[in-house]
Amino acid sequence: HRLGFEEVIYGASKSVALLTDILKDYSDKKTNVLVTKLQENKAKILLEKYKTAFYDEESGIFMLSAIDNNEEKAARIGIISAGSSDIGVAHEAYYTLAYMGVKSKIIHDIGVAGLHRLLNRLEEIKSFDILIVIAGFEGALPTVMGGLLPQPIIAVPTSVGYGTGKGGETALRAMLTSCANGISVVNIDNGYGAALSAFRMIKLLEKK
Amino acid sequence: HRLGFEEVIYGASKSVALLTDILKDYSDKKTNVLVTKLQENKAKILLEKYKTAFYDEESGIFMLSAIDNNEEKAARIGIISAGSSDIGVAHEAYYTLAYMGVKSKIIHDIGVAGLHRLLNRLEEIKSFDILIVIAGFEGALPTVMGGLLPQPIIAVPTSVGYGTGKGGETALRAMLTSCANGISVVNIDNGYGAALSAFRMIKLLEKK
Amino acid sequence: HRLGFEEVIYGASKSVALLTDILKDYSDKKTNVLVTKLQENKAKILLEKYKTAFYDEESGIFMLSAIDNNEEKAARIGIISAGSSDIGVAHEAYYTLAYMGVKSKIIHDIGVAGLHRLLNRLEEIKSFDILIVIAGFEGALPTVMGGLLPQPIIAVPTSVGYGTGKGGETALRAMLTSCANGISVVNIDNGYGAALSAFRMIKLLEKK
Amino acid sequence: HRLGFEEVIYGASKSVALLTDILKDYSDKKTNVLVTKLQENKAKILLEKYKTAFYDEESGIFMLSAIDNNEEKAARIGIISAGSSDIGVAHEAYYTLAYMGVKSKIIHDIGVAGLHRLLNRLEEIKSFDILIVIAGFEGALPTVMGGLLPQPIIAVPTSVGYGTGKGGETALRAMLTSCANGISVVNIDNGYGAALSAFRMIKLLEKK
Amino acid sequence: HRLGFEEVIYGASKSVALLTDILKDYSDKKTNVLVTKLQENKAKILLEKYKTAFYDEESGIFMLSAIDNNEEKAARIGIISAGSSDIGVAHEAYYTLAYMGVKSKIIHDIGVAGLHRLLNRLEEIKSFDILIVIAGFEGALPTVMGGLLPQPIIAVPTSVGYGTGKGGETALRAMLTSCANGISVVNIDNGYGAALSAFRMIKLLEKK
Amino acid sequence: HRLGFEEVIYGASKSVALLTDILKDYSDKKTNVLVTKLQENKAKILLEKYKTAFYDEESGIFMLSAIDNNEEKAARIGIISAGSSDIGVAHEAYYTLAYMGVKSKIIHDIGVAGLHRLLNRLEEIKSFDILIVIAGFEGALPTVMGGLLPQPIIAVPTSVGYGTGKGGETALRAMLTSCANGISVVNIDNGYGAALSAFRMIKLLEKK
Amino acid sequence: HRLGFEEVIYGASKSVALLTDILKDYSDKKTNVLVTKLQENKAKILLEKYKTAFYDEESGIFMLSAIDNNEEKAARIGIISAGSSDIGVAHEAYYTLAYMGVKSKIIHDIGVAGLHRLLNRLEEIKSFDILIVIAGFEGALPTVMGGLLPQPIIAVPTSVGYGTGKGGETALRAMLTSCANGISVVNIDNGYGAALSAFRMIKLLEKK
Amino acid sequence: HRLGFEEVIYGASKSVALLTDILKDYSDKKTNVLVTKLQENKAKILLEKYKTAFYDEESGIFMLSAIDNNEEKAARIGIISAGSSDIGVAHEAYYTLAYMGVKSKIIHDIGVAGLHRLLNRLEEIKSFDILIVIAGFEGALPTVMGGLLPQPIIAVPTSVGYGTGKGGETALRAMLTSCANGISVVNIDNGYGAALSAFRMIKLLEKK
Ligand SMILES: Nc1ncnc2c1ncn2[C@@H]1O[C@H](COP(=O)(O)O)[C@@H](O)[C@H]1O
Ligand SMILES: Nc1ncnc2c1ncn2[C@@H]1O[C@H](COP(=O)(O)O)[C@@H](O)[C@H]1O
Ligand SMILES: Nc1ncnc2c1ncn2[C@@H]1O[C@H](COP(=O)(O)O)[C@@H](O)[C@H]1O
Ligand SMILES: Nc1ncnc2c1ncn2[C@@H]1O[C@H](COP(=O)(O)O)[C@@H](O)[C@H]1O
Ligand SMILES: [Mg+2]
Ligand SMILES: [Mg+2]
Ligand SMILES: [Mg+2]
Ligand SMILES: [Mg+2]
Ligand SMILES: [Mg+2]
Ligand SMILES: [Mg+2]
Ligand SMILES: [Mg+2]
Ligand SMILES: [Mg+2]
């Protein structure tokens, strides 16, 4: 692909028949491919066909072949989640980065309601080049992080919550309206987009 | 008034003529009265008529007679604002409480984007019985306060911000969706309502 | 927990696997724990594992061990519901308070459309320290209560209704926009948050 | 006019030039005509031209000739307003009915927050054939009236309020979602439409 | 019941257990009762218990005993539907009126897109005292009817449609914003409310 | 211009300074140019500079030189407006077409509330190749036209109305949700876009 | 049918019983009929009854008898889709046109994110008389096409996407707000409406 | 400032009195300071006081002292605008970056509706490290850029447009929903936030 991004397929609105067609092309070319937001019932059928394929239930990430171990030690990107319910979106970012060949590490459940948990992990978080910060409910975590840390921060609102959370709209709007400096935002539940945004920065760093 | 609340008049949608009528009743009875959200152009005309009346430009609070000094030392209610732009709403709460005979203190501009300012004032804030926490933009301050402090917290979203802030809707929704425990919320810019909610608690405390 | 609140887990967006992990910690420590908004199919699996656990179908409240009888006689908090369809939210508030060690009493189905039912119970309602007032549809009950009673009122909109009720949005907005004095509001269907808001007030009362 | 309704002109979006054209036709025919929601600056110019015309500033109602006194004693329609800020909408209904030849009476400022004011006037209100019930803020008045009285009730939400009131949307939605029986609703601030809805009922009564 | 309305129960958000309790009271008193918006799976269980009960699948109307034949000949209320998909809402209005003892007649599928069908039925429609006009999609039918006929018109938007129809919101807003004179509106899919609004008028007619 | 469309400038958000710069280019090239939605105060300044320029106050259309008379007799496009308040949008379409060299005719004020006015003009309307149908309030006119006539219909919602009209949103949604066949829609108040959509059809016809 | 359009039935909100009734009429008359948006479970039952009927799973299109081959060579209408997930809407347009007797061709998956794919097909696309351009997500394809090509363009937003896509609302709004010239728009997922809009143009072309 | 960001003041909601207070501090310390979104009438008063201050009318940017020439030759950040109406937002980004000591260059008016203008400038645009892409109306430009170029892209929606543009909401949603890879987004009209997001990346690059 001209821009150096690997090919990626949006799985949620495609029928098994159509996905089978598309995957066959890659399988024949012996190329790996990433499918996002694939529902479990459809994944099961495809896993039957492609015995060596990989599927992560939390995120709906599917790949024709599992990626090599994404060793956390050299992680350049920190994936920070506010609550353990945000695990699916964190995984989507993690596996997308792995597929792009970029190491990352997930730090779970350090939401703003218990500030000490966040402050305890601050030194570790400072060590990453780029932060992907994931939060549902009121989405306050990226605002707090933005006031504490100087790295690029990509905020990802999640659909976790109910009522006034409006399926992630409130977290999204809170992140966009943040009074903290220089946070940028991607679509609700879009771990994939956050990973690609980080990937563009990584490529820029490597060019230098 | 049966419930022990003083009479209050909503000034924003009343004509000067109508307000003049209403104020005359109170003036004749030599009773003070509180008018909220009174626009400056209308206030000017009424101040001409009632020379000893009080008007605060930031909040639009008008009273037939100025209240005695609300000495901060014994303040039982802390009015915490995230940004200095929230001053009008803070004043609305302050003067309403003063009118109800309750002492309060305003602590300005300790928003979440600079967490140290907030942490520096924490000991002082701990000393209040009840907190009114005011924020515009993404409205994260009550969430952070709720995670740090055990008092009753009344959150007031303000219409400060632009674009995705939607005139206070985002701060409102963030406060209602907050993952922090036991925060309750009033209407956008409703410093008056927050003061009355606090007043109900104060009355309960006094009954005991 | 530093603030004196017991630990609480949001059950709706967590997988059984994740919940099992979390509950194991508490079970090992022989500590009770509250899970909110747990779906019935997930609850059934967990009840298999934890034979002495408690689950309330109406509210989705789950606890590792059932709480002692919350005798209504000494109830300090009145939980008032407008319609019998609001029962789930009333239960969520009730069990959360019980878990926090606070006695409360539920008074069902005294909505505004039949004002006499409400007026008949007024004396009893006056006796509570704090009121949690729950209503769906147009959400008028807290407004009427606020005009009749001087206690702190925590209003909880519910998602009961259809069409223009918008899953509780209309009741929520009506409560926030109420012309009655000093009502504060929590998220749609958030019986838990209302309970914690009341709990903050109870703690304040006890401190005095 | 075929349906027996008099001709009515929507004044808000028409230029003075266009209105002058239209009024000339009626003036030449020596027929009265009703213009609604006419802005004050435009009314002033037209009043210059038509010296005997009538204009009400609160409602923006304009008529080529003032109507005869609409004696309240025989009023068949009660126009009930929740707050004195709703006066403009009440006037719009009143003058439209007068123009249609129907007697009505306005009862001001008996909103739900002070239930006793409403209950004090109940006997009088019972005597009307049809009720037009006007409220801004949370719009609870028609719900309470609907539970107390058996007449046809036409609810009119007004744009009085701020923040979560959303220019009348909240009152509108609350009225439509009302748990009270058989209330019907017209557009925000639409005193004119409420009057015409009542007029259709009056015509039906007269046919019988 | 004081207002002369029969007792009615909202079935959609109540459990079978709760409904069973409530119905038992009526059954014991040998009184009929109307339940609205009852889901089919719940209705089946209740029909097992109450062998002589009545249930209409299209509308979800349930009654402890079927009503006597509502002979159309003397119908005073015309229930007009725009499309055959609106049948459920039409039935809800029809059975509610029957339960209240009022005769009505349904005229199906005369939507605005084929104006001739509507014009063909105009003479018949003129004969009713009151019109309940039901439409989904863009909801134009009440506007057209309001321009052609002088009776009271109660407009009912339905959730039939997709995309920009927004579950009935578009039809609702179109009806409220209608440029036709004196149409009043009830909640989306609220055939029940329309029937009760008509019933209030019928009672007024009978009083005269 | 490659597609055969003349150059058009959006005037509403440009400063007089910037517009002056842009117009100078055209003036120097002695080419006419169309500016849309130009506010009156800015137009006055530009008319001072360009004495032979043309400006229409109703629509805000500005051209460097007035176009030749667009004789109505050979009009191929009918511009139909529901109310006389829609005149500005009708003019925007008319002048844009004239600028593109296409003859059109405006038929005013034949809204749905008075169906006879519309039916009276039906023969004339049938003679146009293409219809631009403009309506505010509930926007029902295109639906009725679509059921009566077979031509291409471009529907234009206008911002005329108040309250539930939501600045044209309701008319827009009603037109998009229309149960009538094959109506297409442009932005609120977008007479310009409707004209260009018609122009694309005219070009297709001419190619044949 | 008077306008020359074939009869079409909206299948989504009709019960199998009602559809069976309606289809029987056509079957008895030995006339074909088109049903749109028919759900698979309902289609299966109807296909049992009408053995020679046609059903397309992607679009939910059902016809009593399959149409003759719509040979692509002479296609006058290009149906352009941005992503392969938009296939259902493309099919709805295609089969509706076929039913109306108009040849069309679908060009799949040439979305804006990979501009070269679009530019590669530009010559072919130029050859169509009319373009139906279908896109979900951000809906940018019609804007780009409108800047490159002079034909009539009917834009169809689809509900493909998640989060901020809001079930097609974002694509819809983007198409309506497009800065490209003369694009008109139909309802979300409304392949049927786009086909009928194109059909109106085809009829106009044929009349000439 | 701890994070290396210079101090910035939000000017839109502060009174002249408050701004004067704040600026005095900086002036006394002889430190420059940036004020954003300052209205012209307030700027004029402050410019009177601070004779050497800088104010840009298009963006509302105010600084106590003008910054040195931000020579474009070494620009690392490309600020790309879709239309000349987006100039204010482009300036806000440009001056903020200059204040932070970062060189940037603005490329105006290369919107998607005329794709050739964009393609003509592609080589130049490729040379920047980071792109800030600004668009109003349907906001398609970042999507097209994202498909053509590999750099980090920060998308800024603007409030330019009308009707369905909803003050920038449509452009915002389109950018967030973009099918192009790895675009991140800031608040509507937030040139300041885009600049700070770019600044975080620049700091990361410099650290390496
Ligand atoms: N700023 C405010 N926000 C909400 N409610 C208010 C406000 N000011 C006054 N009120 C309430 O509105 C009622 C007065 O309305 P009115 O009769 O229109 O003056 C009083 O009962 C007050 O409790
Ligand atoms: N009233 C309008 N509505 C929508 N688009 C317009 C309007 N006026 C001009 N345009 C388009 O917007 C573009 C001009 O944008 P600009 O370069 O900012 O003047 C042109 O390509 C026109 O096609
Ligand atoms: N998918 C569709 N989208 C919009 N309108 C449709 C659709 N299918 C059918 N229609 C129209 O809806 C009307 C049929 O409604 P009904 O009488 O309920 O079947 C017909 O006049 C069709 O023109
Ligand atoms: N135009 C702007 N948009 C968003 N945030 C801003 C803007 N201007 C300043 N800020 C941020 O808002 C905070 C200043 O708010 P305040 O204390 O009210 O002046 C600073 O920390 C800035 O980072
Ligand atoms: Mg947690
Ligand atoms: Mg500050
Ligand atoms: Mg009840
Ligand atoms: Mg009052
Ligand atoms: Mg039909
Ligand atoms: Mg007219
Ligand atoms: Mg694709
Ligand atoms: Mg341009």
Residue to mutate among A8, A13, A89, A188, with most G CBs inside 10 A, is A13
Q: Residue F180: closest CA among chain G residues belongs to which residue?
A: G193
Q: How distant is the Cα of H104 from the closest Cα of chain A, in angstroms?
A: 16
Of A83, A85, A163, the CB nearest to C168: A163
Write the residue in A183, A186, A205 that is nearest to H205 by C-beta.
A205
Nearest to F169 by CA among F189, F198, F194: F189
Tens-place pLDDT, residues F118-140: 999 999 999 999 999 999 999 99
With a pLDDT cut of 70, the percent of chain D lying above it is 96
Chain F residues whose C-beta sits inside 8 Å of any chain H C-beta: 10, 12-15, 18, 22, 37, 159, 167-168, 172, 187-190
Block means of pLDDT (10 residues each) for chain A, length 208 residues? 73 93 94 96 97 95 85 85 94 95 93 90 96 97 95 98 97 94 96 97 92
Q: Which two tokens stand for residue H64?
A: 């106590």
How many Å lie between the centroid of ligand 1 and the Cα of residue D79? 21
F6 vs C116, more confident: C116
Chain F residues in contact with G8 (beta carbon < 8 A): 181
Q: Is the pLDDT of residue F2 over 60?
A: no
G11 closest CA partner among E84, D107, D131, B47? E84
Across the interface, do G182 and F205 touch by the CB < 8 Å criterion?
no
Ligand nearest to the CA of B92: 1
Q: Is the Cβ–Cβ distance between A155 and A183 less than 8 Å?
A: yes
Contact call for A205 and H208, based on CB within 8 A:
yes
DSSP strand pairing (A77-81 vs A130-135): parallel
> Which of F38 and G113 is assigned the larger pLDDT?
F38
pLDDT tens by residue, G114-136 = 888 999 999 999 999 999 999 99
B1 pLDDT above the threshold of 60 = no
pLDDT at H49: 96
The ligand with the least distance to the CA atom of F60 is 2
Are the C-beta atoms of B178 and B143 separated by less than 8 Å?
yes
Condensed to tens digits (0 to 9), the pLDDT of residues B126-173 reads 999 999 999 999 999 999 999 999 999 999 999 999 999 999 999 999
Are residues H63 and H92 in contact, defined by beta-carbon separation less than 8 angstroms?
no
Distance from CA of E44 to the nearest CA of F (A): 35
Which three-class secondary structure state does DSSP give residue H23? helix
- From the CA of E34, how many Å to the nearest CA of chain D? 14
Q: What six digits make up the tokens of D202?
A: 């009056």
Plot region of C6 (φ>0 → left; ψ -120 to 50 → alpha; else → beta): beta
Give the number of other CB atoms < 10 A from CB of residue F113: 21
Interface confidence (ipTM) of the complex: 0.95
| Contact call for F85 and D10, based on CB within 8 A | yes
CATH class of A72-207: alpha beta
For residue F169, the chain E residues in CB contact (below 8 A) are: 173
Q: Looking at residue G99, what is its pLDDT?
A: 93
**pLDDT tens across the length of chain H (208 residues):** 556 676 799 999 999 989 999 999 999 999 999 999 999 999 999 999 999 999 999 999 999 999 876 666 788 999 999 999 999 999 999 999 999 999 999 999 999 988 888 999 999 999 999 999 999 999 999 999 999 999 999 999 999 999 999 999 999 999 999 988 899 999 999 999 999 999 999 999 998 7
Angle between helices A191-207 and A87-100 (to 10 degrees): 40
Tokens of E76: 């005073």
Q: What is the mean pLDDT of chain F?
A: 93
Q: How far is CA H32 from CA E120, H9, H28, H37, H81, in A?
A: 78, 12, 10, 17, 28
Ligand number, closest to the Cα atom of G110? 11
Q: From the CA of A82, which ligand is nearest?
A: 5
Q: Is the pLDDT of residue G11 over 60?
A: yes
Tell me what pLDDT residue G2 has: 54
Bridge partners (DSSP) of residue B81 are: B134
Question: Taking CB atoms and an 8 Å limit, are A144 and B173 in contact across chains?
Answer: no
Q: Where are the domains of chain D?
A: 8-63, 72-207
Give the closest of C182, C199, C203 to B193, CB-based.
C182
Average pLDDT, chain C: 93
List all residues 6 or more positions away from H141 whose beta carbon is below 8 Å from its beta carbon: H80, H82, H110, H111, H112, H118, H133, H134, H135
User: How far, in Å, CA of H9 to CA of B85, rounded?
Assistant: 10
**Given a cut of 60, is residue E117 above it in pLDDT?**
yes
Closest ligand 4 atom, residue H196 Cα: 23
Helices (H) and strands (E) in chain C, counts: 8, 9
Residue E151: which residues within 8 A CB-CB, separation 6 or more?
Answer: D200, D204, E128, E129, E130, E131
Which residue from G minimizes the CA distance to F192? G182
State the residue for tokens 């790295």.
A151
Residue of G nearest to H145 (CA): G113
pLDDT digits (tens, 9 = 90+) for H146-183: 999 999 999 999 999 999 999 999 999 999 999 888 99
What is the number of other CB atoms lying within 10 angstroms of the CB of residue D137? 32
Residues of G in contact with A18 (CB under 8 A): 84, 87
The 10s digit of each residue's pLDDT in D90-131 is 999 999 999 999 999 999 999 998 888 999 999 999 999 999
Average pLDDT over every residue of C141-148: 96
Distance from C-alpha of F35 to C-alpha of F62, rounded to nearest angstrom: 5
Taking each helix axis from N to C terminus, what angle separates G141-148 and G169-176, rounded to the nearest 10 degrees?
A: 20
Q: How much is the pLDDT for A67? A: 87
Looking at every residue in chain E, the average pLDDT score rounds to 93
Check residues D61 and D71 and name the one with the higher pLDDT: D61
- Asked if G113 and H146 come within 8 Å (Cβ–Cβ), the reply is yes
CA A3 – CA D95 distance, rounded (Å): 69
Quote the pLDDT of residue E113: 85
Tell me the pLDDT band of C163, cut-offs 50, 70 and 90: very high
Q: Note the Cα H87 to chain centre separation in Å.
A: 10
User: How many other CB atoms are found less than 10 A from the CB of residue B7?
Assistant: 12
Tell me, in angstroms, the distance from the centre of ligand 1 to residue D36's CA.
28
Q: Which of B10, B36, B96 to mutate to test the pocket of ligand 1 (most atoms within 8 A of CB)?
A: B10
The predicted pLDDT at position A131 comes to: 98
Scanning the structure block, which residue is given the tokens 């749609």? Answer: C188
Does residue D47 sit in helix, strand or coil? helix
Nearest CA in chain B to D161: B13
Considering only residues B151 and D180, tell me which one the structure prediction assigns the higher pLDDT. Answer: B151
Give distance in angstroms: CA of F109 to centre of ligand 10: 5
- Which of C135, C179, C177 is CA-nearest to residue C155? C135
What residues does C133 pair with on adjacent strands? C80, C155
Mean pLDDT of all residues in C65-87: 86
Q: Chain F residue with minimal CA distance to D10?
A: F85
pLDDT band at E2 (very low <50, low <70, confident <90, very high): low
List the single residue in F111, F169, F179 with the smallest CB-CB distance to E113.
F179
Nearest to G187 among E85, E160, E163 (CB): E163
